[in-house]
């Protein structure tokens, strides 16, 4: 087991290394002069040269690559050309917002998706089942950013039900930082008005972000449930007069949960990708928005930092899910 | 079971509604302090006055720091600030400034000539941000401290516009900067979020990507004109215009910038909101390549200048813009009106004939900054207008650095390039020099305008300290440039902000950037 | 089968006879097709998908003929009629430059089709050969190809695409390059897996034992057996590629104006919410319906062509 984890971690490091190399190669074959942007519109050639030197952009590509890798080993992710902030500092600052949003969305998707999936299976071919089916089919086809805009339009702009964007209200002061997750920090510090404010702000983006995941969780759960419900032992149990609720809740659900669990790791990664769109619409100060701003300004190091962070998260999540899977399904062995 | 489940869901739903039907927040006052919220779209990641400036950054810098002089009002004038008076030698080379004696930094240190010298040295040697304004004419060795409150600048060559530059060179506290130096970075690492100023506000809460909060310095050395000045300012990032609009309508923000023209017109009708509308100095022009391709021919350039529908520029801004009538913006010192081009298809066709392309039959590139709405719209207008001359227009959106890179060389410079230029200081030299050979390679020099007479006149005007004499030279320059039609002379759009009614004291000054508000004179009246 | 062909060729028969003969020989194929159609028509969602995709193709072909103001998609401006309500003259209203939104949405289908075809085409062009090579040759080559594939799959496609665009610069061409680069690994995985399992099948063993060349085995035995899952995936991916490209257009790094690409239109339209809601509404609906069509079609195709994987929806 320990060996298995070590092996997986090593693989993650190697994959990240490959990821860096690939992005590096692609990024540096591209033309363009990011130093000029950072220097400002009126900068003289001399001033642009100062920046180029400072950021090592005057060195050959291979040297830049080695410098970057060397920096990574010491925990230095480079510096944004545009803002001159350390990328690591920025990521530490912006990632909690993204993490909070993603995890909340995931919980939302699971909390709504599993019961709905079960209900669909139990009430197969009834109204609920059909509407859930339409919902889950359309869930993946809906452009996330458009759904976000439409919800903003109706729930926030037309009817003043939820805030349009941001993490907190204009004058709400962020709770004392413990985890940097506002929802948790506000509870820990007992600051309920902030909690409510944070909850109101996270609702719309989280719903939009969870939408595709919700669709597939319902679908998978329904299919699994149907399969399990037709298994001999369930039929047997029913013949023995065990109540339907107990059968559904206890025996069937437990088995149906396994495939859902495996999906969650994948979904977490997809959601991190989705934050790029959702954070843009909802002005959510996280790494997605940060990456978009980097891309628009051809600011290379921040995008690279976000790519690494997301890749790492994605792979770690999958590792954790694989381990949990082993607990849920005793037949799995790690080699 | 069924009914129980439904009941459960109903309860959950009602609970949800109760939680989320939030109440409007009470704003403006927190702990008895009046706080103004400014909703803007652009972050300010680096507020070091020696490293960086753009409108949002400078708005914060102007609040945290003071300079020797300050721009106020419209038309812009320069008023004494840290310097109470100054003298200049007749050849515009030696400038002596006398500082006020009561100015002090936020930590109580006095603002001395030593601090002024330190600040200028720092900006000049870091070579970032505003350094370009003086790099050519001022060397650190030319800055001399005469006594604690007198400083003398000896320029390496005569430069009449020197005073006009000074409001953008903020004075920093040497002690604070030096205390935070890391290696030989001259405090750059710390200063991007640091406060070493003497300005009316000091830094309070900095949350990058979210907000920047400042609090008023109660005993600001220059005092406050109105006792109801805000106790604090929050510059809150709202990156989307519909959110900005909602924020001002609901009163969550007191000032917003950057709305679309349509949105400004909508919010102006709301009770409790007023919208300002003042002509700015930022000009929009379409630079044409004067060195290569079809636009090398002055006749083609004139044909295009006559074919363009200038009124559509005004329409794009819903009437909130004025057309340029000279290469120099209206309102700039030294501007005189000229007989500028207006749409006249007959004349345009005549010039096409003169150029030997009566039916057009070629394509021109129109390069603009990707994401800039107005530039995009103007490109669409160009496609429409030039099709009447048989000229096709290809729209090429580029990121800023790529566009600048293309415009920097005569060979790669696009046929047409959309450029907004804001004169950084109030002196005709700042615009005249854009047509000088020394500007080739800069984004505003992308036309690679070539007229040695204009260059010579521009150089000469810099060395004269007598204004009347200079003014005559600039008059001639404007006429010659207009005749050469190096670009489509476009418009100057109005600067607009939306304010809540209780915000008073706003003083418009066109020398500031679009979006930038001087926060010092504001006060609150309920 | 080869032998039977030889004998039939020897018999002198008329054209009609040959047709009857051919029909008889391929009876099982016809039965398959009929069954497929039957299965397909039994699934209303698949039929809806097919109809949507059919209409989509019709519109891309007939677009310029059916729109009222074709010049509005190429850059005409009519400042006098900006931001008009949807009505009889302008079915979907007009935008901030007075252009007919209906025209632009309709002509946007061509751009979306091109985006979808290019991305999926390039992804298949890279992915399928690599997948077959990896699966068929095996050994270290398989290792190398699959490890590189894993690297690309180690991060959500949108993030990687954004990183690539950050390097190449924004624009429709660059965003198609970026999306193609993140899309091919899926095909490698699919084809490699399929090839591996096929390699063990007895009919491949048989072909090998009678001395068929590697190329022959790949082109006549493995590739044809991979087509069904590839078609299913390609159909799904058409929709997803259009969706992804629209997303990039929306955040401002994809298609650029005056191109009537739907995502780019919404990106501008969001500044006109809520008063001018129709501007953002209709391009979004167009994306939704198109992607839905391709997804449903792909789903339906899967039920017929690839019955083993039935029941899961895009996982």
Q: Report CB contact under 8 Å: A160, B250.
A: yes
Among chain A residues, CA nearest to B57: A83
The pLDDT value recorded for residue B354 is: 93
Distance from CA of C289 to the nearest CA of B (A): 26
The dihedrals phi and psi of B35, each to the nearest 5 degrees, come to: -120, 125
Interface test mutation site (partner B, options A35, A42, A89, A299, max chain B beta carbons within 10 A)? A42
d(CA A235, CA A228): 10
**Would you tell me how many other CB atoms lie within 10 Å of the CB of residue B314?**
17
Q: Do A295 and C148 touch (CB under 8 A)?
A: no
To which residue do tokens 């089709």 refer? C113
The span from the CA of B21 to the CA of A181, in Å, is 23
Identify the pLDDT of residue C312: 37
* pLDDT, position A31: 60
CA proximity to B196, closest of B105, B122, B112: B105
Distance from A98 to chain B by nearest Cα, in Å?
13
- Name residues 260-279 of chain A within 8 A of B (Cβ): none
Residues of C within 8 A of B262 (CB-CB) are: 83, 96, 272, 275-276
pLDDT of residue B181: 94
Residue of C44, C163, C237, C239 to mutate, testing the A interface (most A Cβ within 10 Å of its Cβ): C163
Alpha-carbon torsion B157, B158, B161, B164, what sign?
positive
Query: Is B135's CB within 8 Å of A46's CB?
Result: yes
Report the pLDDT value the prediction gives residue A137, as an integer from 0 to 100. 77
Distances (CA, A) of A149 to B212, B242, B243, C210: 27, 10, 11, 62
Q: Does C313 touch chain A (CB under 8 A)?
A: yes
Whole-number Å distance between alpha carbons of C145 and C153: 12
* pTM of structure: 0.83
User: Angle C175-C181-C187 (CA atoms, 0-180°, nearest 5)?
Assistant: 130
Question: What is the complex's ipTM, to 2 decimals?
Answer: 0.87
| Cα gap B277→B283, rounded to integer Å | 16
Report residue B84: phi and psi, to 5°.
-90, -25
Cis peptide leading into C301, omega within 30 of 0? no
Residue window 106-145, chain A: list those with CB within 8 Å of chain B: 119
Asked if A164 lies within 8 A of B192 by C-beta distance, the reply is no
Mapping DSSP to helix (H, G, I), strand (E, B) and coil, where does residue C132 land? helix
Closest by Cβ to C273, choosing from A23, A153, A274: A153
CA distances from A252 to A109, A118, A122, A255, C23 (A): 20, 9, 11, 5, 50
B283, β-bridge pairs: B421, B492
The pLDDT of C32-51, averaged and rounded, is 80
When scoring B311, B366, B370 by the number of chain C Cβ atoms within 10 A, the one with the most, hence best to mutate, is: B370
Taking CA atoms, A36 is separated from A44, B404, B410, in Å, by: 9, 8, 18
Check C96 against B383: CB less than 8 A apart.
no
**Residue among B46, B501, B54, B28 nearest B234 (CA):** B28
Q: In which band, very low, low, confident or very high, does the pLDDT at C6 lie, cut at 50, 70 and 90?
A: very low
| Distance, CA of C308 to CA of C57 (rounded, Å) | 30
Residue with tokens 């990058």: B208
Q: Higher pLDDT residue, C26 or C119?
A: C119
CA distance B377 to C30: 57
Which residues in C lie closer than 8 A to residue A280 (C-beta atoms)?
250-251
C177 contacts chain A (CB < 8 A) = no
H/E segment holding residue B517: none
The partner residue sitting opposite A33, judged by closest CB among B237, B370, B401, is B401
The rounded Cα C173 to chain-centroid distance in angstroms is: 18
The residue of chain A nearest to residue B254, with distances taken between CA atoms, is: A170
A83 — contact with chain B (CB < 8 Å)? yes
Q: In this predicted structure, what is the pLDDT of residue B25? A: 41
Q: How many CB pairs under 8 A join B and C?
A: 62
Which of A219, A299, A306 is the closest to C313 by Cβ? A219
Q: Please tell me the distance in Å from B148's CA to the nearest CA on chain A.
A: 32
The answer for residues whose C-beta is within 8 angstroms of residue A9's C-beta and 6 or more apart is A319
Chain A residues within an 8 Å CB radius of C282: none
Q: What single DSSP character describes residue B23?
A: P
Q: What region does A55 belong to: left with phi over 0, alpha with psi -120 to 50, or beta?
A: alpha
> Which B residues, 323 through 362, put their C-beta within 8 Å of a C-beta on chain A?
none
Q: Which of B341, B355, B365, B314 is nearest to B481 (CA)?
A: B341
What parts of chain B have a pLDDT lower than 70? 1-30, 371, 401
Q: How far apart are CA C216 and CA C218, in angstroms?
A: 5
| pLDDT attached to residue B72 | 94
Two structure tokens written together for B276 = 């300002």
For chain A, residues with pLDDT lower than 70 are 28-33, 330-335
**A215-241 as b/e, with b when 16 or more CB fall inside 10 Å?**
bbbbbbbbbbbbebbeeeebeebeeee
Contact of A196 with B22, CB cutoff 8 Å: yes
- pLDDT of the residue at A81: 85
Radius of gyration of chain A (CA): 24
Contacts of B395 in chain C (CB under 8 A): 75, 256-258
Residues 229-248 of C with CB under 8 A from A: 239, 243, 246-247
- Which of chain B's residues have a Cβ under 8 Å away from the Cβ of C270? 240, 242
Is A263 or C293 the better-scoring residue by pLDDT?
C293
Of the candidates C168, C250, C295, which has its C-beta nearest A141's C-beta?
C295
3-state helix, strand, coil split of chain B in percent (to 5) is 35, 25, 40
Q: What is the mean pLDDT of chain C?
A: 83
Which residues in chain C are contacts of A16 at CB distance < 8 A? 154
Q: At what angle do helices C157-168 and A287-296 cross, to 10 degrees?
A: 30
Contact B397 C256 (CB under 8 A): yes
């Amino acid at each position: 087991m320990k060996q298995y984890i070590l092996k997986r971690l090593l693989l993650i490091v190697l994959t990240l290394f490959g990821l860096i190399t690939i992005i590096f190669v692609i990024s540096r074959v591209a033309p363009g002069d990011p130093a000029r942007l950072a220097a400002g519109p009126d900068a003289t050639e001399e001033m642009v040269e100062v920046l180029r030197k400072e950021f090592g952009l005057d060195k050959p590509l291979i040297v830049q690559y080695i410098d970057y890798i060397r920096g990574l080993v010491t925990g230095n992710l480079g510096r944004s050309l545009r803002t001159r902030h350390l990328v690591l500092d920025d990521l530490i600052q912006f990632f909690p917002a993204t993490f909070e949003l993603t995890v909340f969305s995931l919980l939302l998707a699971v909390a709504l998706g599993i019961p709905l999936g079960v209900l669909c299976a139990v009430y197969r071919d009834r109204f609920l089942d059909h509407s859930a089916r339409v919902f889950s089919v359309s869930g993946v086809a809906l452009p996330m950013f458009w759904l976000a805009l439409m919800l903003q339009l109706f729930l926030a702009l037309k009817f003043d039900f939820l805030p349009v964007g941001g993490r907190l209200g204009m004058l709400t002061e962020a709770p004392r930082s413990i985890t940097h997750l506002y929802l948790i920090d506000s509870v820990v510090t007992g600051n309920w008005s902030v909690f409510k404010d944070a909850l109101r702000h996270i609702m719309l983006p989280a719903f939009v972000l969870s939408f595709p995941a919700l669709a597939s969780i319902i679908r998978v759960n329904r299919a699994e449930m149907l399969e399990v419900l037709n298994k001999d032992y369930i039929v047997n149990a029913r013949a023995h007069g065990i109540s339907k609720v107990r059968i559904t809740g206890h025996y069937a659900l437990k088995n149906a949960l396994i495939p859902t669990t495996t999906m969650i790791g994948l979904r977490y990664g997809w959601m991190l990708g989705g934050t790029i769109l959702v954070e843009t619409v909802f002005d959510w100060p996280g790494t997605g928005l940060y990456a978009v701003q980097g891309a628009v300004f051809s600011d290379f190091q921040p995008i690279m930092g976000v790519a690494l962070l997301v890749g790492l998260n994605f792979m770690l999540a999958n590792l954790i899910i694989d381990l949990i899977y082993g607990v849920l399904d005793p037949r799995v062995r790690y080699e | 079971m069924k009914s129980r489940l439904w009941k459960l869901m109903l309860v959950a739903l009602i609970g949800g509604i109760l939680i989320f039907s939030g109440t409007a927040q009470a704003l403006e006052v927190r702990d008895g302090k009046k706080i103004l919220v400014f909703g803007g779209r652009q972050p300010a990641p680096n507020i070091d006055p020696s490293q960086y400036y753009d409108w949002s950054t400078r708005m914060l810098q102007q609040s945290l720091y003071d300079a020797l002089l300050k721009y106020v009002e419209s038309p812009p004038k320069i008023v004494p600030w840290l310097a109470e008076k100054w003298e200049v030698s007749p050849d515009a080379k030696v400038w002596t400034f006398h500082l006020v004696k009561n100015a002090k930094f936020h930590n109580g240190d006095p603002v001395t000539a030593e601090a002024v010298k330190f600040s200028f040295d720092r900006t000049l040697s870091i070579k970032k941000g505003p350094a370009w304004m003086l790099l050519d004419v001022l060397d650190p060795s030319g800055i001399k401290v005469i006594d604690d409150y007198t400083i003398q600048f000896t320029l390496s060559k005569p430069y009449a516009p020197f005073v006009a530059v000074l409001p953008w060179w903020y004075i920093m506290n040497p002690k604070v900067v030096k205390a935070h130096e890391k290696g030989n970075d001259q405090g750059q690492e710390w200063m991007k979020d640091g406060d070493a100023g003497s300005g009316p506000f000091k830094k309070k809460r900095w949350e990058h990507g979210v907000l920047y909060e400042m609090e008023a310095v109660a005993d600001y050395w220059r005092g406050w004109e109105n006792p109801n000045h805000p106790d604090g300012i929050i510059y809150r990032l709202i990156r989307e215009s519909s959110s900005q609009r909602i924020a001002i309508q609901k009163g969550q923000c007191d000032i917003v910038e950057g709305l679309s023209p349509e949105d400004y017109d909508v919010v102006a009708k709301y009770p409790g909101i007023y919208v300002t509308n003042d002509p700015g100095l930022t000009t929009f022009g379409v630079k044409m390549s004067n060195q290569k391709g079809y636009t090398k021919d002055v006749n083609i350039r004139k044909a295009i200048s006559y074919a363009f529908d200038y009124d559509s520029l005004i329409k794009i801004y819903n009437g909130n813009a004025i057309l340029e009538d000279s290469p120099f913006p209206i309102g700039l010192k030294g501007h005189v009106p000229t007989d500028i081009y207006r749409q006249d298809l007959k004349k345009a066709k005549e010039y096409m004939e003169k150029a030997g392309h009566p039916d057009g039959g070629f394509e021109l590139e129109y390069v603009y900054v990707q994401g800039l709405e107005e530039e995009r719209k103007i490109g669409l207008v160009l496609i429409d207008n030039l099709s009447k001359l048989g000229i096709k227009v290809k729209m090429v959106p580029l990121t800023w650095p790529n566009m600048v890179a293309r415009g920097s060389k005569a060979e790669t410079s696009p046929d047409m390039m959309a450029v907004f230029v804001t004169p950084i200081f109030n002196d005709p030299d700042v615009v005249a020099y854009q047509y000088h050979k020394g500007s080739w390679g800069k984004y505003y020099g992308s036309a690679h305008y070539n007229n040695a007479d204009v260059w010579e006149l521009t150089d000469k005007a810099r060395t004269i300290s007598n204004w009347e004499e200079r003014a005559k030279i600039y008059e001639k320059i404007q006429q010659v440039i207009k005749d050469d039609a190096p670009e489509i002379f476009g418009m100057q759009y109005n600067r607009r902000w939306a304010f809540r009614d209780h915000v008073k004291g706003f003083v418009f000054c066109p020398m500031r950037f679009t979006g930038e508000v001087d926060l010092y004179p504001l006060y609150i009246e309920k | 089968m080869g032998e039977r062909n030889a004998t039939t060729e020897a018999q002198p028969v008329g054209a009609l006879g040959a047709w009857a003969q051919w029909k008889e020989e391929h009876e099982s194929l016809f039965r398959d097709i009929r069954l497929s159609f039957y299965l397909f028509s039994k699934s209303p969602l698949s039929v809806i998908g097919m109809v949507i995709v059919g209409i989509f193709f019709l519109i891309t072909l007939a677009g310029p003929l059916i729109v009222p103001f074709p010049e509005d998609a190429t850059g005409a401006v009519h400042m006098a009629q900006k931001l008009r309500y949807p009505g009889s003259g302008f079915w979907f209203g007009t935008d901030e430059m007075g252009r007919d939104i209906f025209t632009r949405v309709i002509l946007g289908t061509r751009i979306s089709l091109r985006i979808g075809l290019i991305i999926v085409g390039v992804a298949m062009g890279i992915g399928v050969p690599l997948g077959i090579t990896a699966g068929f040759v095996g050994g270290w080559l398989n290792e190398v190809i699959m490890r590189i594939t894993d690297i690309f799959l180690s991060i959500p496609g949108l993030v990687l695409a954004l990183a690539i665009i950050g390097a190449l610069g924004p624009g429709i061409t660059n965003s198609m390059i970026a999306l193609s680069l993140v899309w091919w690994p899926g095909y490698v995985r699919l084809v490699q897996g399929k090839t591996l399992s096929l390699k063990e099948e007895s009919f491949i063993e048989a072909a090998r034992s009678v001395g068929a060349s590697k190329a022959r085995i790949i082109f006549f035995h493995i590739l044809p057996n991979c087509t069904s899952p590839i078609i299913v995936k390609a159909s799904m991916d058409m929709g997803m590629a259009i969706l992804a490209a629209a997303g990039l257009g929306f955040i401002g790094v994809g298609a650029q104006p005056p191109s009537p690409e739907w995502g780019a239109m919404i990106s501008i339209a969001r500044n006109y919410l809520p008063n001018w809601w129709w501007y953002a509404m209709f391009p979004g609906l167009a994306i939704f319906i198109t992607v839905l069509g391709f997804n449903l079609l792909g789903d339906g195709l899967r039920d017929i062509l690839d019955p083993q994987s039935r029941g899961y929806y895009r996982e």
